[in-house]
Chain A
Amino acid sequence: MKFKGMHKISVLLIILLMATLFTGCSSNKAEQASQTAPKPTTVTVTDMAGRDVVVPAEVKSVALVWGPSTSFVLALGKGDIITGINYKSDFAVKVAPNLANVGSVGKGQADLEALAKVKPDVFIHKATDTKSLDAVQALGIPAIGIVAETPEDLVKATELLGKILGAEQKATELIAFYNEKNDFAKNLTKDIPADQRKTVIVMGSELGKVAHGEMLQSFLVETAGGINMAKDIQSKEIWPTVGTEQIFAWDPDFIFCEDYTGAAYTIDELKKDSSFANLKAIKNNKIAYIPAHQDLWDFPGVQSSLGTLWMLNQMYPEKYSEADFIKDVNAFYTLAYGTTFDREWLGY
């Protein structure tokens, strides 16, 4: 028969097919080393993804597509050299008016051609997105990865970016402020016995979504002397859903809410809802948004020390008065931006 030999052929073909598979779709590590030719005008830094990157000694322009990296650059006083961004908040435009004319170079991930057009001296991005970092680096644009998940990382990122952007002095001052305020909050509340500490949950964009112990919001609560009721929730998810029933079971002294546009609830709605009326925090009017109208006080960055101080004032006003708090807020903005902002505008 004509097709008798097909069995052998097909076995061969299958072997061949499998063999081609094993050549693999090997991911391409962009050659970062290709630009290590030593020039007096460049310096080599190790970024927080562990990559050695050569950057110009004097960085004159920077592009970013990841929200938290913007906070760092702005606080370091380098908003004026941003030439490509993902999102321009009102706050960003206020502290760096030049941003009004800066265009987008991607959302979350870099738009490579748009970035090539802008051709910044450095690109700053999250260290976990090595795909973007390598692709940008392959264009010949130095790509710096930063991590800002924990307070320690946040300090390291500020130091690293201070060095790269030529704002080392500013970085040192900001870190000093950050550490000083955190230590201050911890010391102020260290003698409060565990049973008298305020219990807190930080609620996300939906009812029943809470910040677990690994999240920065939990660090803010604990630094300010509170107890995050959700700290032991084991989840890899950010803002895991525990459900409203669990919140009733915890019945915390304070509920701090994330001020997202498009959140599934508002505090006013909760206060009016009779089913929530028995919650301690609602009954005592101890539910509030963490101020993030403009600057993001619960986001990675040195400004998150203001989140801690705000919580401290909310929970223990007898130890840390509103007047002290306002003084500290103004001190921070004077340090970072050389000016103070209207309380109403900042939203606290």
Chain B
Amino acid sequence: MHSKWLVLSINLFLLAALAVCVVWSMCVGKYPITPLESLQILYANVFGLAAPTDQMAEKVVMGLRLPRILAAVVIGAALSMSGATYQGIFKNPLVSPDFLGVSSGACIGAAIAILMSLSGTGIQIFAFCGGLLAVTITVAIPRLLKSDSNIMLVLSGIIVGGLMGSLLGLLKYIADPETQLASIVYWQMGSLSYVNLPTLGSVMPAIIVSTIIILSMSWWIDVISLGERDAQTLGVNVRRTRNIAILCSTLLTASAVCVAGTIGWLGLVIPHFARMLVGPENTRLLPAAALVGAIFLLLVDTAARTIGSSEMPLSILTGIIGAPFFAWLLYRRRMKLH
């Protein structure tokens, strides 16, 4: 059991670490700007002063780095919180936005919207509906089979994920190779290269509202993870709480997919890491998970844009880091059990 003060200081430490990462990320990149110049540009823009350096440097810092950093922080936090919420609601440590098929469902929704030549709003609505449909099917399969084991939900996720993968393949097959295919692949691979503030701003309301709801519901999620009967005794409407939580987490994932495409592993691994830091209670876990997720994606995206001569898709890096890390977590858990 972690004490309240320990959790608070961990969160404060994470917040400070995030701030340091943001400042550091602001100062690195392929365009040669000294850290001091970057900070001067940022300072000048925030306080409406004249920027001291050349125009291009200002565009790089304010137009490229800042939106990417903000997007990485917001999306890292959103995916991680979404994963933590799914894990709490399903009482299953093996689920995550990608394992439940939400990410691929959202991706398919987005792909359909692209094929229908819809614009940003349409893509977001379709992404959300696709994600929701995927998670509904994933949850429905174990119910139909009258099984509520953890394994069944994971298997069901694999079924839905596989189906969604094939559907996405089909959509790519019929897409116009010159125009539509590239944007579908872009969604699928996950990247923040072309994020700008208006795009990020447009999903912010959805992300903020879902975050507030999930955070204010975290006590109820805790109660549900004790077991349905106990929760009912405590007066929690299990079904409704669960549905709202699923809706909000799906909205978080869909919003993330809308801005950055699908980014694997983060939603699965980061909540586990946060749980190691602050314990399993959602009231404590969710803020910590959000902070760790933000730091993680920011570091990964900064690496993606600075390493190599051209940008690396995010899912490559999150997979390379996330998969071994998850294996290590499983190993550690097993050691504890024995």
Contacts and interface: CB of A to CB of B under 8 A. Distances in A.
Interface of A: 1-3, 6-7, 10, 13-14, 16-17, 20-28, 86, 103-104, 106-107, 109, 111-114, 116-117, 119, 126, 128-129, 131-132, 135, 138-140, 149, 236-238
Contacts of B141: none
Contact of B199 (A2, A26, A237): A26
B24 to A, nearest CB: 16
B193 interface: yes
A16 B176 contact: no
Contact of B56 (A104, A129, A140): A140
A106 B310 contact: yes
Interface string B50-88: 000001100110011100000000000000000000000
B25 interface: no
A10 B245 CA distance: 10
A234 B32 CA distance: 49
A277 B124 CA distance: 55
Interface centre among B128, B179, B310, by most chain A C-beta atoms within 10 angstroms, is B310
Chain B interface main SS type: helix
B177 interface: yes
B215 interface: no
Interface residues of B, number: 59
B284 interface: no
A131 B194 contact: yes
Interface of B: 29-32, 55-56, 59-60, 63-65, 119-125, 128, 173-179, 182-183, 186, 193-194, 196-199, 202-203, 205-206, 209-210, 213, 235-237, 240-241, 243-244, 247-248, 251, 255, 258-259, 305, 309-311
Contact of A3 (B65, B122, B199, B236): B236
Contacts of A135: 193-194, 196
Interface centre among A7, A14, A236, by most chain B C-beta atoms within 10 angstroms, is A236
A17 B203 contact: no
A346 B55 CA distance: 45
Nearest to B125: A21
A135 B199 CA distance: 13
B121 A24 contact: yes
A106 B311 contact: yes
Contact of B213 (A13, A28, A103): A13
Contacts of A6: 237, 240-241
Given A20-B206, A23-B205, 11 more contacts: A14-B247, A20-B205, A25-B199, A109-B310, A114-B30, A114-B31, A116-B56, A117-B31, A126-B178, A128-B179, A140-B59
A26 B311 contact: no
A117 B55 contact: no
Contacts of B243: 10
Report, nearest first, the 10 A-B pairs whose CB atoms are least far apart. A24-B121, A20-B205, A104-B309, A20-B206, A107-B310, A113-B30, A26-B120, A25-B120, A28-B198, A25-B202
